[in-house]
Amino acid sequence: MIPIGLLSMTRHNVPMDNSRKNVTQWQIIGVWNPSEPLFEVLNTETPRDTRVYFTIAVDLVVQGIQEPVRFVFEAKAKIVNTSATDKFWINIPTLSKGKPLHEQFHVQLREKTNSEPNSRFDVVSCFSATQLSHQRHKLALRLRHEGQQGGDRLEGHRSSVTSLPTPSNDESEDNDEPLPSGTGVVSKECSQTELDDYHKCVFLWEGWSELLNKWHQNLSQRPKQVQTLVKRGIPEALRGEVWQLLAGCQDETTLMEQYKVLINRESPYEKYIERDINRTFPAHEFFKESGSLGQDSLFKLCKAYSNYDTEIGYCQGLSFLIASLLLHMPEEQAFCVLVKIMNEYGLRNLFRNGFEELQLKFYQLERAMDSLMPELYSHFADLGVEAHMYASQWFLTLFTAKFPLHVVFPILDLFLLDRMDTIFQIALALLSISKKDLLALDFEGVLKYFRVSLPKKFRTEENGKFLLRTAVAIKLKKLKKYEKEYQIWKESTKVENPIDRLEKENKRLLESSLRLEQENDDLAQELLTTCNSKIRLRSDLDKVEDKADTLSTELLTTRGLLVEVEDEKKRLEDEVKCLKEMCRRELERAEMEISRNAKIIVEYKQICSQLQSRFESEQSSSRESLSKMLEKVRNCERCAQLFTNNGPNKEINGDNSDDNMTDGSVNGSPNQLQLKIDELETELVKAKVALVESECRNEI
């Protein structure tokens, strides 16, 4: 908080009527420095769908109270562009006639004993009328909620939920698209735990089955436990039967027979029905496919009712209610329940006489909102948001068009139980839960919130149950009073001076015109921003397109190179294949040659071995023969003399030397043969290698 400089404080005496004394008014004027950093938010243009809230505190020094008394004002504002301020100042005289910011404060004092004259009182509390109203409203809702929980034994425990639970992560992925009708899955299975819970809480009744059996015995009277059980929630498996019992259409054989006749008649609304059934519950499997059993049943039922009630015929929105009924019962029973809802529950009256009855419901809703949520009512009045802008679909479709099925079906449970009061309770509960969000939005933001954001808040069953608990806790005691007020107002408008009526209408239209002009300026500013963004995006797109053209050219070039490379690759693969085949053949031939040469060498070695053995044996025999001959010569005297002389001996020695040489040559011949063989083998290998190299060169 930042202090504001006091510029002036003046007193004025305001004369009143004779029954009251003059009243003294004080006018306080203060100024602030807009360049302060804390005031930056007040110098920034407010987005279209939001408002800025600021608080002004005034400390007054009152005689007899030692400490200053602080009065706090909370206000909201919208910061607009300087281009829109000229129009604002032009229309100041008209705007000043509107509702001013008026706040009444309640100050509670405690008198001191034996105190000084300047300090006679202590301030106990200081609340504005708005704060007190909010506190009383919250306290009343909490007490009614707790009383409902304490009186309802089926709850079993007190709920600690005081506000709408935070949506799960998947709900944060929201966009501007509305939630498709028919969203949500409701299981028809009823667990044993749930049934046991019912058995424990219902004193003389042992569960829904016994309740229904006894109800069938006396269809004209509802059992006392029905009120409690229905507010607890009807099990999905029993919902179709219970709806028929609540509507009182168990023995409607005449209507069923009439339905079979009506579906065969032509209806003037058939083209409108065919157009609407494709938009009814598109998120549900039963009605999703065109020409499916669900769409066929929906078409026949809408057509039958348009022929049955010729005054109303077919109105847009009825298909959602009919689809909800078809999900729980056959066509004939659904037709009977629909007729009961339209006639006995008053839904038909909303479509009659130019929706006059619907206008009454809007008035009652706005008066109830003014009583329970005055701040939200004032906000809507300032924006020009009227009930018909957001609540018409709620009343005409019974909330079946936009909300998830796990919310729609319990609402129909309560509607068939308590009739039209349920619609008011649900509507007020929705407004109460969404009040904080709605107070921060402008006209278009509010309408978009009702159309898109609000149904998405209840995509979880936990949030749906919270909505129903909040609705049941709301008490409606003044609807009859509001209805009388509306009738009186209608009568007064008939006798009202036409000039006064036209002046009021002119004032209302002027305010609407100012609001629309402001919205038009906002849209123009948004359009300008969008155009600039579009130009920038166009420039970026041109750059991207140029880059895309360059990349396309490069891609074509690369593709051509790729084709050439693939051809070269194929040629090289063929050559490699040929080389591999040639090498394989040469390798096989070389292996065969090596094998043949190895065999020849082995054969040569065997021959040499044989020759060596033969030579050695011959040599051995020769030596033995020579030894024997020498022995004989020595034994002969005549021959011995010859050998003892120099000549013969020399000859003999010479012969011996020759023999030795012969023996040496004979002994050395195998070695020479081995050397010769080795030389031949080496030459053979060299010749083979040279032959292979020459063949490889010839093939290349």
Average pLDDT over residues 147-151: 41
Average pLDDT over residues 53-63: 79
The pLDDT, as a whole number, for residue 134 is 56
Average pLDDT over residues 677-690: 77
The reply to whether 594 and 688 lie within a common domain is yes
Is the per-residue pLDDT at 665 higher than 50?
no
In this structure, is residue 171 part of a structural domain? no
Average pLDDT over residues 192-202: 48
Is the per-residue pLDDT at 252 higher than 80?
no
Whole-angstrom distance, CA of residue 127 vs CA of residue 695? 115
The reply to whether 598 and 610 lie within a common domain is yes
Whole-angstrom distance, CA of residue 310 vs CA of residue 308? 6
The reply to whether 209 and 256 lie within a common domain is no
Q: How many domains does the chain have?
A: 5
Closest CA to 629 of 647, 654, 650, 656: 656
In the structure, what pLDDT confidence band is assigned to residue 25 with cuts at 50, 70 and 90? confident
The pLDDT, as a whole number, for residue 173 is 44
Whole-angstrom distance, CA of residue 60 vs CA of residue 70? 6
The reply to whether 255 and 329 lie within a common domain is yes
Is the per-residue pLDDT at 290 higher than 60?
yes
The pLDDT, as a whole number, for residue 206 is 53
pLDDT tens profile 419-478? 889 999 999 999 999 998 898 888 888 888 998 889 988 888 888 889 999 999 888 888
The pLDDT, as a whole number, for residue 1 is 58
- Which of 294, 316, 336 finishes a domain? 336
Average pLDDT over residues 152-156: 34
Residue 325, sorted as left (phi over 0), alpha (psi -120 to 50) or beta, turns out to be alpha
Is the per-residue pLDDT at 145 higher than 60?
no
The pLDDT, as a whole number, for residue 176 is 64
Q: Are 272 and 302 in contact (CB under 8 A)?
A: no
The reply to whether 215 and 233 lie within a common domain is yes
Average pLDDT, the chain: 77
Q: Are 431 and 455 in contact (CB under 8 A)?
A: no
Structure tokens at 380: 């809507």
Is the per-residue pLDDT at 492 higher than 90?
no
The reply to whether 201 and 328 lie within a common domain is no
The pLDDT, as a whole number, for residue 91 is 53
pLDDT tens profile 254-273? 888 888 899 898 989 988 89
Instruction: Please report, rounded to a whole number, the percentage of residues in the chain having pLDDT higher than 70.
Output: 74
The reply to whether 284 and 209 lie within a common domain is no
The pLDDT, as a whole number, for residue 8 is 63
Task: Please classify residue 7 by burial: count the beta carbons closer than 10 Å to its beta carbon, then call 0-12 exposed, 13-18 middle and 19+ buried.
Answer: exposed
Tell me the DSSP string of 211-254. HHHHHHH-TTS--THHHHHHHH---GGGHHHHHHHHHT-SS-HH
Average pLDDT over residues 189-212: 52
Tell me the DSSP string of 52-80. EEEEEEEEE--TTBSSPEEEEEEEEE---
Strand partners, 698: none
The reply to whether 609 and 682 lie within a common domain is yes
The pLDDT, as a whole number, for residue 124 is 77
Q: From the CB of residue 390, how many other CB atoms can be counted at a distance below 10 Å? A: 22
Closest CA to 67 of 78, 59, 56: 59
- Which of 312, 336, 360 finishes a domain? 336
The reply to whether 359 and 472 lie within a common domain is yes
pTM of the full predicted structure?
0.55
The pLDDT, as a whole number, for residue 427 is 93
The reply to whether 352 and 460 lie within a common domain is yes
In this structure, is residue 172 part of a structural domain? no
The pLDDT, as a whole number, for residue 426 is 93
Q: Which domain holds residue 240?
A: 152-160+179-246
In this structure, is residue 370 part of a structural domain? yes
Instruction: Please report, rounded to a whole number, the percentage of residues in the chain having pLDDT higher than 90.
Output: 16
pLDDT tens profile 66-111? 778 888 877 777 777 666 555 555 555 544 444 556 777 778 787 7
The pLDDT, as a whole number, for residue 199 is 47
The reply to whether 72 and 114 lie within a common domain is yes
In this structure, is residue 147 part of a structural domain? no
CATH assignment at residue 255: 1.10.8.270
The pLDDT, as a whole number, for residue 22 is 58
| Secondary structure class of 20 (helix, strand, coil) | coil
- Which of 307, 336, 365 finishes a domain? 336
The reply to whether 470 and 533 lie within a common domain is no
Is the per-residue pLDDT at 385 higher than 50?
yes
In the structure, what pLDDT confidence band is assigned to residue 158 with cuts at 50, 70 and 90? very low
Tell me the DSSP string of 553-573. HHHHHHHHHHHHHHHHHHHHH
Strand partners, 127: 106
DSSP state of 398: T
**CA dihedral in degrees (95, 98, 100, 106; nearest 10)?**
-170
In this structure, is residue 501 part of a structural domain? no
DSSP state of 650: H
